[in-house]
């Protein structure tokens, strides 16, 4: 019997954040393996319509209001309940942190198995975090299983309000390697991109321009690095980061170029064009760093920070990355310079990283393991 799955996908198919990209990849891989998959996803487009993308049904929910940076949409509860009546789901899969979808899942009819993917703790929200941790155990449904991409994810004390050790499962994120292969067309685009910067080393960083990404630290570090930083993405801190780069430009050894949001189809070009990929995050909100895994698939050495999260399980110090203390622009510039000055060492880190990404972060295995977990839960519930 085909298993019916509902994912709460945050801003999937609209915003290229790490969680959203994971939901998209997982949903498509599950559909390819025979599951009936629906994603309820927030949108800022009031005119967005339901649509089907590569076998996955996308149900958009327009969001007007946010509280403590979290989307709030009554329409999510109403549509989730309506969908559950039209097509009863065997599994509802929530992607944390997103407290409102936990409330929604707790209000759904039919009691489907509830699975939570624990992508990161609630870190910065000083009001929301304590309130939620107090009220959730009293009023909201406990998940049947909690998934973490690494052992470090599963060690979070915040998970204690959801699940004991027996209900925790480690399933690594999977990345589809095919879009990141160096095809002739991508090679041509890579050559054109590198030609713009007259042979200078290229450092690439990518993500939403928000506090925990640490892009301000990276911009300060680039003042002492003879390279070009291509900084992808956008967000609320983009104006502040731009001003910082302009202020440092006169005395900077490096160059900072803001490339804006990059379409998924063009991302492999930037990964392959760079000499180093940098993940300069400064808070444990960065729990994995899917972008560093994508860079590893492209054979690039990583410079990351010692957050004590899954970031450091994915790209190990001395194996496929150089790891520095978070928030330390001096240490960050030293690590970048070390790789620029030692291209053979940088190449060896990149080769080791590609091997690790291909072996450990397999998209088909991720989908199969998740579907197997669903099956075990639904069999226990007699679905």
CATH number corresponding to 4-174+362-381: 3.40.50.2000
- List pLDDT tens digits, range 337-380: 999 999 999 999 999 999 999 999 999 999 999 999 999 999 87
For residue range 310-348, list pLDDT tens digits in order.
999 999 999 999 999 999 999 999 999 999 999 999 999
- Would you state the pLDDT for residue 17? 75
Residue 158 pLDDT > 80: no
Range(s) of the chain covered by CATH 3.40.50.2000:
4-174+362-381, 178-360
What pLDDT is recorded for position 212?
A: 94
C-alpha–C-alpha distance, residues 373 and 365, integer Å: 12
Cα dist from 221 to 45, 110, 239, whole Å: 38, 54, 18
Average pLDDT, integer, range 212-225:
98
Class of domain 178-360: alpha beta
User: Which segments within the chain are labelled E, that is strand?
Assistant: 4-8, 36-43, 51-53, 56-62, 65-67, 70-72, 91-96, 113-118, 145-148, 168-170, 202-206, 228-232, 255-260, 276-279, 302-305, 321-324
pTM: 0.83
Which class for 197: exposed (0-12), middle (13-18), buried (19 or more C-beta within 10 A)? Answer: middle
């Amino acid at each position: 019997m085909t298993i019916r799955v509902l994912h709460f996908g945050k801003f999937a198919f609209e915003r290229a954040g790490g969680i959203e990209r994971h939901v998209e990849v997982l949903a498509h891989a599950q559909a390819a393996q025979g599951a009936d998959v629906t994603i309820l996803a927030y949108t800022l487009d009031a005119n967005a319509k339901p649509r089907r993308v590569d076998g996955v049904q996308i149900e958009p929910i327009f969001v007007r209001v946010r509280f403590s940076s979290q989307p709030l949409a009554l329409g999510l509860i109403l549509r989730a309940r309506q969908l559950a009546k039209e097509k009863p789901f065997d599994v509802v899969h929530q992607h944390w942190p997103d407290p409102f979808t936990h409330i929604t899942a707790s209000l759904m009819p039919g009691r489907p198995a509830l699975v939570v993917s624990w992508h990161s703790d609630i870190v910065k929200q000083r009001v929301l975090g304590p309130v939620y941790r107090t009220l959730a155990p009293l009023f909201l449904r406990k998940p049947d299983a909690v998934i973490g991409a690494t052992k470090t994810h599963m060690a979070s004390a915040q998970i204690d309000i959801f699940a004991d050790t027996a209900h925790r499962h480690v399933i690594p994120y999977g990345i589809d390697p095919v879009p990141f292969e160096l095809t002739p067309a991508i090679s041509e685009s890579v050559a054109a991109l590198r030609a713009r910067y007259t042979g200078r080393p290229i450092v690439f960083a990518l993500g939403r321009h928000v506090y925990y990404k640490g892009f301000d630290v990276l911009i300060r570090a680039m003042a002492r690095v003879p390279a070009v930083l291509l900084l992808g993405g956008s967000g609320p801190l983009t104006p502040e980061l731009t001003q910082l780069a302009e202020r440092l430009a006169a005395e900077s050894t490096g160059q900072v170029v803001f490339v804006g949001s990059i379409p998924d189809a063009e991302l492999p070009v930037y990964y392959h064009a760079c000499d180093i990929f940098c993940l300069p995050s400064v808070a444990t909100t960065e729990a994995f760093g899917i972008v560093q895994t994508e860079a590893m698939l492209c054979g690039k050495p990583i410079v990351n920070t010692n957050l004590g999260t899954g970031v450091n399980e994915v790209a190990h110090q001395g194996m496929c990355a150089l790891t520095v203390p978070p928030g330390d622009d001096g240490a960050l510039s030293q690590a970048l310079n070390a790789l620029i000055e030692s291209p053979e060492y940088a190449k060896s880190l990149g080769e080791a990283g590609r091997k690790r990404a291909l072996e450990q972060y397999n998209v088909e295995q991720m989908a199969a393991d998740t579907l197997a977990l669903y099956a075990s839960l639904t069999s226990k519930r007699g679905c």
